Structures are given as structure tokens and as C-alpha cells.
Structure 1
Amino acid sequence: MEKAEPEAPHVLILPIPAQGHLKSMLKLAKLLSYASFQITFLNTEYFHHTFLSSIDIRAFSRRFPKFQFVTIPDGIPPDSPRSGKSIAHYLISLTDAAKPAVVEVLVSLRSKSGRPPTCIIADGIIVCCSFRTYSACCTWTYFHLSNLIGGEVPLPDKDMDKLVTCIPGLESVLRHRDLPSFCRLEKADDHLLYDFFIAQASAIASIFSKIRTIVPLHCLSNVDDPTALASTKSIFWQEEKGCLTWLDSHPSKSVVFVSFGSVVTFTLDQMLEFWHGLVNSGKPFLWVIRSNAIIGEDDPRKILEDLKDNTKGKRSIVSWAPQEEVLANPAVGAFLTHIGWNSTLESIYAGVPMICWPLFVDQYVNSRCVSHVWRVGFDMKDSCHRSIVEKMVRDVIEMKNEEIMKSMEEISKQAQESVKESGPSYCNLDKMIQDIMSVNLENINRRD
């Protein structure tokens, strides 16, 4: 009698419930599903409800038959804010609620199916195999927090531009203002860096036994279905696809794309500084402004409608856009961004120089690397004065800053090479799949 095929590995995916993290982890989960893995994707009840409203769940289930969603509470009422200035409170509540809930999920998975997950890929909750959705430089900075505490922290407010001296490889790059607001690095059997900078990853590899770079996930789509990953939509907002037609009517590299992500909020004064700077530059722009992005105003929707009425023709304002497609459009010549890591990688892959307005967490490190390490954009620091916006837009779109353009061409080519069949990202994904299959086989043999 022929021996039956061994059961497929079972992977539990634990993302932080935020647009950028969910988006990256969902793409990774789909890639593993293509390898015939059984996937359990953990999400909070609040964000899973929002997610279900943005996809055809039946079509998703047909495409990924071994994919299941499991939900847990996040510890706060449904009508409580989960972005902007409330994000810190939300993450604290989530941490407290998630720990017992995740344990309950693990027990439930074992009792119902008779087999626990082969591997847990987590983004900051439980770590067996961790998938870092920020850069290698930021991971390296987090790891050296103890050095910072010993020699640099607390940071004096009087000199936030002072260079950090205790992080190997970044001694002359990072300033006090670039350091992340928190750090936690758990032990893991495997570390997956959402990064393609091999030189950065090699420094971290001296500490961790297994470390792999896997990026950009939206381009590792030449597996079984080239459209399944590339067409991943926004999880929270309806995309306004008409902006792509608007872009098609503009010359090459003439448009500024403006988007500050899914969490960032700003005051009306800050928004108007950006608006005046963009208008004064004389360049056409496509600006994503979420309905909940403006704070401190009684009727932000009315403000947005008035702004849209004043930005017709050479300018366009939308509530959400298909960012990967926008950046890939030949008309886009600059990206004004909050410099979240997804946005950074997507912009680099598309070869679009960045103007960075960092606000929290890894964004300060990302911005500093964009401007002073990779030299593919400008760092606005934490200022949003209209004159700075105007000058930086002109420097990229009009003056075609030679150093930035040359550096972006080189680094974008590196990113594109990484996802080819012989490239490091493609190979690292395959190695990770083989590792999980080996662990699964060991577990089966142990049971037998």
C-alpha cells in the first residue's frame, strides 16, 4: 500500500491590526497558501468586519480553499478611535486583550483539528517566526535600544539633530530625532525582514541564526496566479480608480502623488500648509485625504468637499487610491509621504523619489535613510511649512535632482532584481517554505 501524502503545514498568521501591517501579512499568507499550506489568519473583530466589506469572501475562499479567518477582541468599544493620536492607547488595549485571546485560539485550533499550527508568523504579539514589516535599519536600531539607554537616552530636547554614536553601521547617519518611539524585539526561530537591502540585513544576521529578506511582496506574484497578489485592494477604504485615468492625461514624471497612509491625522492648518505648498509649486498633484484624517474640526467632510472644489483640473483629491498602481503610472514623478515602510518600498520599486514627512515609530529612521543613506528623496523632518513643500516639489519634479535620480534608478533596479526567479527575495521565500515543510515533517514523524 502506498504511503499517504503527509498533511500540509499549518501556519498561523498574527498581524498587528493596521492597514499597512494587515496588507503585508495578507500578501505573505497568500504566497504560503499557494504552496498548499493551511493558513489561519488572525484578525481583530473590528477590522475583520471592515475587511469583509471590501472583498468578495466567497471568491476569496474559492481561490484559497485552505485559508481561514479567526477573530479576537481588541479590548475597546467598536466606536472608539483606532488611529491618529489614539493609536498608542489602542495598541496598549490590544496587547492586554490579545495575549489571553491568542492562547485561547491556539487551544481551540488544537482541539478542533487535532493539530496545532506548525509555525506562527507574528507581527509583535507571539513570535516563533517573526515577519518584520519595517526596514532592516529600523530593526537594527531597535535591537540597540540597550546601547541607547546606556549612552544616549534620555534625549536632551535642545539638540535633536545630534548624531547617534552607539549603533554600529549608522554612527554618522541617525540623529536623536530619528530614533523610534518604542522598541521590542522578541526571540524567534526565524526572522523575515520586509526589506531587500542585503547589506543592512547582513549586520543583523550576525545576531540571529536565520534571517531572510522578502520584498516587495506585491511583486512576488509570478507564482500560480499573477493577478491575485498584485490586485490586493485596500482593506479599509474604497479605492477611487478614476484617478488612474486622470494620471494618464499628464506628461511623464510631472505629477506629485501625496498620501500619508491609513493612520496619520493632521490639523486643518497643517493640511492647508501642504495644500498651499503644492499649489505654489505649480505642479499637478494627486492627493489622498481620508475622511477621518482631519482632526479638531466639526465638519471635516465639508472641508474636504470645499477643498476638492478648489483643486479641479491640474489637481485631484480622492479619499483613497490604489497606491501600487498610482506609483507605477509613468506620470508620477514624486511621492510626498509619511514614509511608512510599505509606502517606502513601493515607491523604491516603482522608481519614484520621495519627499518625507515622518511622524512616529519607524518613519523617522525610514526618512533619514531615504535622504542620507540611499539618497532617493528629501527629509522634511517634522515641519510642513508651505515654502519647504514648494521647494522640495520643485527640486524633484522641475530640477530633477541629479543625485536623487541616479540613486533611485540604481536602488529601484536592485529591488526589481530581487523578485526575479533567481533573486534573493524569491529564493528566500522558497527557503522559508522549505523550512516550514521540514518542521512539519518532523512533527509528523514525532507523532508517528
Structure 2
Amino acid sequence: MEKTEWRRKRVVLVPYPFQGHITPLLQLGSVLRSHGFSITVLQTNFNSLDPSDHPYFTFLTLPDGLEGYDFYFNNILMMTSVMNANCKAPFEEHMSRMLEEEDGGEVACIIYDSLMKFVDIVAPKLKVPTIVFRVNPAAFTHSLVILSEFLQQKLIPLPESSDLDVMVPEAYPLRYKDFLLPVTQEIPEPVVEFIQTYTNVQSNAAVIWNSVESLDHWPLQQLLQRWSIPSFPVGPLHKSAKLLQTSLIEEDNACLSWLDRQSPNSVLFVSLGSLSVMDEEELINMAWGIAKSEQPFLWVLHPNLLNGSDPIKTLPQEFKEMTRKRGYMVKWAPQKKVLEHSAIGGFLTHCGWNSILEVLCEGVPLICRPSFGDHMVISRYITQEWKVGIEVEVKTEDGYERAVRTLMASEEGKMMKQRAVKLKQEIEQSINGGTSHESIACLVEFIISLTVGRK
């Protein structure tokens, strides 16, 4: 196939409309565009991006029926179900129209977030190849595969008396307590169905991972043995893609000037992402733990952190006075720029995968405070497999103080820093001609080879 022919191939992207899902899929789109593909993004009304920020992509809208929907963290699964039901018909209309056009280029495939399940229904009918995009590490998907097998074998729920700190032999280094759901409780049937659907990729032409082969080697190998489709670990995409404006929240860049005035490797960066929540008691415990550690800090306190209450206003005035000269608080920060800054010496994080990839690329050690979803699995790999961080043992004032002092002011913390720098170098090698670079090249060739069958 001549280059002029395949350069007209179009790739359709369907992101799940939350920050940690939108950003890496559009980064993938940027990478594919740099290899000559046209990119069309089908996005929902909810959390939609401004197309003017991405003039090289074509944007189409999927009415999602979420207008006026009461969004809060515990309602995400219901919202996802509503969205999948409402987006199916407009998605099919857009795709049918695209397939009929000649000047838009041949549609090579649809690359979609694994939570946008309506793609699985429409694409086979239209005979368009699909590639599922995983925003999580392979370790998390593998843990769900194991969980699904346990459910099928009726090994769950475990007895209430079970020791959940025991390792799961099929999913080392995970413990039973690291699974997505409590394994001593009956799992509702809709959730069981979700897990089974999520781990079934046999209708897809391939799987793309925003991960690195060296980080995810064993889980990737385990999944390859179970699945019969190609797998492409192409991450970390934020290092391969051109800089994109995908933040759904306005960033406070003033904190960068504050960091410029701090000593190298002295500042603890604290951010729990845009979806994690905590109660007021833990917020206060975290604040006093950070204060008593006597370390400089930059703290992101997103308005949703307390489910609506302003966390900055909630913090005690005494804490603010005590830390005024060595602390800086913002509602949202330009995270990649912050983590790249020489003043950052540690990162207290919820363990969202995008954040972890960003921090591993900068050689910064971590304190893990996992919240939900894949966070427990990722935290376990950080602390036990890669050994570049520690987990907050107890979410008390003393627990947070102890974790910060260990990371920022102890020999153990220095060793974690050394391992983090080594891991950074390994990731850089994967990008610069190594496994991630090769996976991107193989993915490009794979997409070129796909054709759309038509009646």
C-alpha cells in the first residue's frame, strides 16, 4: 500500500468523559496524527473539550442525556449506564455517515475507552474494526481477570474471618485486600456482569495500553496467554505526544513561581486527583500530619475533595498560620510542570495511573493514599514491586506525619529516590528506541493493515 493511500486513513476516538480517560486517549490521537492518520473524536456533551483547542482533530458530539444529572462520585456507575444507553444511536448515525463519505478518508478503525460499551454493539454491525484502549496498567486488568475467574469458580465471597493480607498466588504481588471490591462480601450481579464484560476483549482487533512493558511485564504476559489478540503497550503517552490542552479545570500557574523560590528536592507535592474524596476528619489529619513533618509542601485542594465543601476554607486557621511560609495551596495545578520542577522531592498521591506515569518519568518517589478503582493495585506495585514509594499506613495525623518524614527526610526515602531515578532512566530508554517506541511503530503498521468490510 502506497504512503499516499494510507495517510488518508481515519481513526475514530471515543473517550470516556473524565479527565484521567480523556487525556491519554487524545495523547494517543496526537501520536497517531504525527504518523499521518486523520483523527475524529466522538465526545459526549458531558465534560466536552473545546474543539478550538485541538484544531487538527475533528470533533463530533454524542448527546448523552446527562443534562441536569446530579454528578457525584458514587453516582458514576449509574451515569455511565445512562450515557451508554443514550450514546448508542447518535454514535451509529455519525459512523454510518462517516462510512458513506469519500473525502473524509477511509475509516481504518475505532479506538475507544473500554467503558464506552455502546461501541461494542454498533461497530460489529457496521463491520468496523475496534481497538480497545486501556487507561489502566495491565496489572489492574489482570486482577479483574483473576477476580472474574474466582467468581465463576464460586470462590467469592471468602469467609469473613479470612486474612486479606495474604498474597493471591495467581496475581502476585497483590493481596486479597487489593482487589477492586471486598472479597468477603457478595458482589451484586450487575457488578459481576460489568467485570466479565470489561475483561472480555475477544470482539476487538487489539488492545492498546498506556503503559510500559518493563513496568507491566508479568501481567501483560499473563493476559497474552489468555487473549488471542495483539497487545500494544505504548506508554507513557504524555512523553510521546505533543503538548495538548485537555485539562477540564483551570490550572493555577502561580504555584510555579513559588516553586522557583524553593530548594531542590525539598517540596512535597500533594494531589489526590479530580475524583477522589475524603471526609473532613481525614483532611484535618492530613493537614496536621503535613504541618508536623516540617517539610515544605504544595497542596492541590480540589473543590470536589469534600463532596462540595471548600477544603481550603475547611482547614483550621491555626494550620494556615503555622505553614504560611513553607506551604502553598491551590485548587488545581499544572501537574506535569510541577512534577518536572527541580524543587519537587516527593509526591503524595491517590495513585491514579496518569499521575503515576507522570511522576515515574521524573524520578520522584511517592506516598500512596489509594482511593478507589485501580488505585490499590497501583499502590501495591509502587511499594512492593518497583519499591519507589510507601503507603500511608493509617490515615491519622501521626500516620501522615510518619509517611512524609520517611519519604522526605530519611535514609529509606533516599533509597526510594535512587530507585525512582533508575526507573525513570528505564522508561526513557523504552521511549527512545526501546519497547514503547517499537510498540507505537507496530501499532501504526497494524492500523494501516485494517480494512473496513462493507456489504
TM interval, shorter chain, is 0.7 to 0.9
Quote the offset at 1:60 in angstroms. 3.1
Counterpart residue number, 2:67: 77
The alignment's TM-score, normalised by the length of structure 1, stands at 0.85
Once the two structures are superposed, residues 89-119 of structure 1 have per-residue CA deviations (whole angstroms, 9 ceiling, x without a partner) of: 2222223323334323322322455876311
Q: Distance in 2 between matches of 1:102 and 1:203?
A: 33
> For residues 374 and 239 of structure 2, what CA distance do their matches in structure 1 show?
23
CA distance, structure 1, for counterparts of residue 333 and residue 166 of structure 2: 37
Secondary structure of 2:24 counterpart: helix
Per-residue CA deviations over 1:379-432 (Å, capped at 9, x if unaligned) read: 236x42111111111111000415423432322211111111x11111211111
The equivalent of 1:194 in structure 2 is: 210
Unpaired runs of at least 5, structure 1? 222-227
* d(CA) in 2 for partners of 1:254, 1:206: 45
Aligned to 1:346: 358
Change (3 A) 1:7 1:255: closer
Task: State how far apart, in whole Å, the 1-side matches of 2:63 and 2:167 are.
Answer: 39
Q: CA, structure 1 residues 279+103, in 2 after alignment: closer, same or farther (shift >3 Å)?
A: same
Return the alpha-carbon distance in structure 2 between the equivalents of residues 26 and 12 of structure 1: 11
Q: Does 1:117 align with 2:120?
A: no
What is residue 404 of structure 2 aligned with on the other side?
393
Number of positions where the alignment pairs a residue of Structure 1 with one of Structure 2: 418
Say if 1:290 and 1:95 are closer, same or farther in 2 by CA, change over 3 A: same
Change in 2 beyond 3 A, CA 1:310/1:69: farther
Query: Partner letter of residue 162 of structure 1?
Result: D
Residue 6 of structure 1, CA deviation: 5.3
The answer to whether the Cα contact below 8 Å between 2:351 and 2:379 also exists between their aligned partners in 1 is yes
The separation in 2 between residues aligned to 1:73 and 1:310, in whole angstroms, is 49
When normalised by structure 2's length, the TM-score is 0.84
- CA-CA distance at 1:301 after TM superposition: 6.7
Residue 165 (str. 1) matches residue 149 (str. 2)? no
* Distance of 1:339 and 1:413 partners within structure 2: 21
Q: Percent identity?
A: 28
Structure 2 residues not aligned, in runs of 5+: 121-129, 182-190
Determine helix, strand or coil for the equivalent of 2:273. coil
**Which residue of structure 2 aligns with residue 224 of structure 1?**
none
Describe the SS at the equivalent of 1:12. Answer: strand
In the TM superposition, residue 296 of structure 1 has moved relative to its aligned partner by 6.6
Q: Is the 8 A contact 1:256 1:335 kept in 2?
A: yes
Deviates further, 409-418 or 95-104: 95-104
Residue 60, structure 1, aligned to residue 54, structure 2: yes
Which residue number in structure 2 is paired with residue 314 of structure 1?
A: 326
Counterpart AA for 1:132? R
RMSD: 2.7
Note if 1:47 corresponds to 2:61.
no
Distance 1:8 1:432 in 2: 17
Q: Distance in 2 between matches of 1:45 and 1:375?
A: 41
Q: Is the 8 A contact 2:53 2:245 kept in 1?
A: no
Give secondary structure in 1 for the equivalent of 2:348.
Answer: strand
**Match of residue 98, structure 1, among 87, 93, 97:** 87
The residue number in structure 2 matching 1:225 is none
State how 1:8-407 maps to structure 2 within 5 Å: 8-48=8-48, 51-52=49-50, 57-58=51-52, 60-61=54-55, 64=56, 67-78=57-68, 80-81=70-71, 83-113=72-102, 117-124=107-114, 125=116, 126=119, 128-149=130-151, 150=153, 152-159=155-162, 161-165=164-168, 167=170, 170-171=171-172, 173-181=173-181, 183=195, 184-187=198-201, 188-198=204-214, 199-200=217-218, 201-208=220-227, 209-221=229-241, 228-229=242-243, 232-295=244-307, 297=309, 302-303=313-314, 311-380=323-392, 383-401=394-412, 402-407=414-419
Distance in 2 (CA, whole Å) between partners of 1:119 and 1:75 is 26
Separation (CA, whole Å) in 1 of partners of 2:277 and 2:237: 27
Which secondary structure state, in structure 2, belongs to the residue aligned with residue 292 of structure 1? helix
Structure-2 residue corresponding to 1:437: 448
Contact in 1 for aligned 2:212/2:436 (Cα 8 Å): yes
For residue 398 of structure 1, what is the amino acid of its counterpart?
A
Displacement after TM superposition at 1:156 (Å): 4.2
Aligned to 1:20, the other structure's residue is in SS state: helix
CA distance in 2, matches of 1:405, 1:3: 46
Contact preservation (8 Å) 1:46, 1:78: no
Moved more, 33-42 or 303-312: 303-312
Instruction: Check whether the contact 1:268–1:295 (CA below 8 A) recurs between aligned residues.
Output: no
Paired letter, 1:71: T
Q: Shift of the alpha carbon at 1:317?
A: 0.5
